[in-house]
Structure 1
Amino acid sequence: MSKELSYTIEEVSQLLKVSKLTIYDLVKKGELPVFRVGRQMRMDAKDLEMYINNNKSSTSPVPVAEPHRNDVKDSLNLVISGQDMVLDILGQHIEKDSSYKTLRSNTGSLSGLISMYNGDSDIVSLHMFDGDTGEYNVPYIKKILVGYPYILLNLVSRKAGLYVKKGNPLDLTNWTDLKQKDLAIINRERGSGARILLDEHLRIHKIPSKNLKGYDNEETNHLSVASAVSAGIADVGVGIEKAAKIVGIDFVPLITERYDLVILKSPKNEQLINIVKRILSSNPFQAEIKALGDYDISQTGSIIYETY
């Protein structure tokens, strides 16, 4: 098989200088063909080139217009921001139980929350630890979604901690062990929940990030971080338990994090909120999540915080 150049959705959005929402919308309309590698959508370079050529005019170029959020709402497309596989299951249940079509934006928690503030996401998943309060998500939402009414629902709870090599040869058992000399770390991108978790504990324990070898080496998902540890590229990384089991490395649990969903409250979103609440509380959805293992569903569907 010949090697063909392909792009991620994020790379296409950067090339065309439009938002990822625009690209997702074009994909849903069938104007841009994609293929999947696992949970990631990719686009052949030749298909992108064909789309560009088909939208050119002999007199003036036809721009790729940014979709107005009202237009997207009218077409019943939903953008769900986050990376956990539980979101894929949620999207499937939403499509099965309603007329909505779900689009996935694999951005980190903070980036997703900012995209919601800017009107580019409908459901944002969050797992952001605040070191001053020991609370998850609410302190950040209060600061970012200023002026917006919203509801915060629990999706699942899950263990977060350290990815270490088989047998934990460096005997890493807590955050202060990251002070070990010559310890090599692999980090997550800025704005991700795992990056915030690490940075908050470095701050709490007064560990300068500049002292961590590899702190500036970033991956964009839990599996890539776990794989880097497995391959010996790094000694340690921060992430969730599920990825460690998939990759086959050891995991040191340090905290139970609450993984929540935030949705803005508006007349247009009233139906969406009711649908999501119903799905999260349903036996079929919870049974499907429980079967995955490593997820706590004791609070799933509960209202964590709500403004009016």
Structure 2
Amino acid sequence: MSDDISYTTEEIAKLLKISKLTVYDLIKKGELASYRVGKQMRVDPIDLEAYKQRSKGIPMNEQPIKLESLTPTPTQPQATNVGLRPLVITGQDLVLDILAKYMETHMDGIRPLRAYVGSLDSLISMYRGESDIVSTHLLDGDTGEYNLPYIRRILVGNSYIVVNLLSRNAGLYVKQGNPLSLKTWADLATKGLRLSNREKGSGARVLLDEQLRLHGIKPDQLLGYNQVESNHLGVASKVASGEADVGVGIEKAASIVGNIDFIPLIKENYDLVMLKTANNHIWIEPLLHILRSDEFRKELQSIAGYDLSRTGEILLET
């Protein structure tokens, strides 16, 4: 096998038939050696084979530990990686990539890993111990409250801290000029409406399902309800191309895609959740310092569509 071959975390997940979060968990625990190329984590074939052999109980004479480098050296001793703790950050917003960059620059001894997972699945992954910093924007239709009802239900028995990252407008993507005059959630009952939907577990999917429930609209009334996209841009693009009449998402995606109109219907909180454990206390305070810093806020201010008035505010601490 060529020395030039390496695998992404997505490829490792497919090869082992496990989730990407499980791959990150193996990396966090030091069971699967990895290194970074740009923003992407890579795993060499020899390290994948070493993990597989260990899983079968077969020892290998050489199990190299690699430095965080573009040109890893197979003979590096394990001691070179001591103190470098991987932290898995879940969520899909660009702001999380910016946050990861700041963490890597300003926090010693940590290695941010980005997992592009929806809000509900992110909280479940935290309950399972697979993620460290979870982003979430989940509406509870009965209370009108964002995130906290879900966090309380899912993270039962854990101590945690919930911090606001930002707020943003969510609503409907519609064709330019809004030819169907869609203005409210109730208008989703319009006969023959073609929907571009998000995957189960995403904040946009939960928002849609809660609004359908509250307005007595059955999902099967919407054509395309079961046809899903993996992100806001995908949904907005379906509307822009004319393949769908409506989609649910955030304002920023509409401005990026263009050729569509955005109907703002709700302001959602996009929050971060962290477990309060003895091992996490060492990095939670530095992270809060980054969130509250002028430097971080100024960079986010250059991105349209975000309300940063509560960024870094602790919403709940148990």
TM-score, length-normalised on structure 2? 0.81
Distance 1:269 1:54 in 2: 29
Q: Over alpha carbons, which structure has the higher Rg?
A: 2
- Percent pairwise identity: 54
Q: Secondary structure of the residue that 2:153 maps to in structure 1?
A: helix
Ranges in structure 1 where 5+ consecutive residues have no aligned partner: 1-5, 64-71
Ranges in structure 2 where 5+ consecutive residues have no aligned partner: 1-5, 60-80
Matched, 1:140 2:123: no
2:167 is aligned to 157
TM-score, length-normalised on structure 1? 0.84
1:103 is aligned to 113
Distance 1:97 1:233 in 2: 44
Q: Secondary structure of the residue that 2:142 maps to in structure 1?
A: coil
Contact 1:155 1:297 in 2 (8 A): yes
Distance 2:15 2:107 in 1: 34
Distance 1:189 1:250 in 2: 22
1:303 is aligned to 314
Distance 2:82 2:135 in 1: 19
Contact 1:162 1:253 in 2 (8 A): yes
Contact 1:55 1:61 in 2 (8 A): no
Query: CA 1:154–1:52 in 2, change beyond 3 Å: closer, same or farther?
Result: closer
Deviations 1:77-118 (A, max 9, x none): 110000000001111111111121100110000000000000
Q: Secondary structure of the residue that 2:210 maps to in structure 1?
A: helix
Counterpart residue identity of residue 275, structure 1: P
Distance 1:101 1:7 in 2: 19
1:85 is aligned to 94
2:184 is aligned to 174
Matched, 1:252 2:263: yes
Cα distance, 1:283 vs structure 2: 0.4
Cα distance, 1:166 vs structure 2: 1.4
Query: CA 1:74–1:115 in 2, change beyond 3 Å: closer, same or farther?
Result: farther
Cα distance, 1:75 vs structure 2: 3.5
Counterpart residue identity of residue 143, structure 1: R
* Stretches (4+) displaced over 3 A: 6-12, 21-36, 47-57, 60-63, 72-75
Query: CA 1:175–1:21 in 2, change beyond 3 Å: closer, same or farther?
Result: closer
Contact 1:27 1:34 in 2 (8 A): no
Counterpart residue identity of residue 200, structure 2: R
Matched, 1:281 2:275: no
Distance 2:237 2:37 in 1: 23
RMSD: 2.9
* More deviation, 181-190/26-35: 26-35
Cα distance, 1:32 vs structure 2: 5.9
Contact 2:27 2:86 in 1 (8 A): no
Matched, 1:195 2:205: yes
Cα distance, 1:23 vs structure 2: 3.5
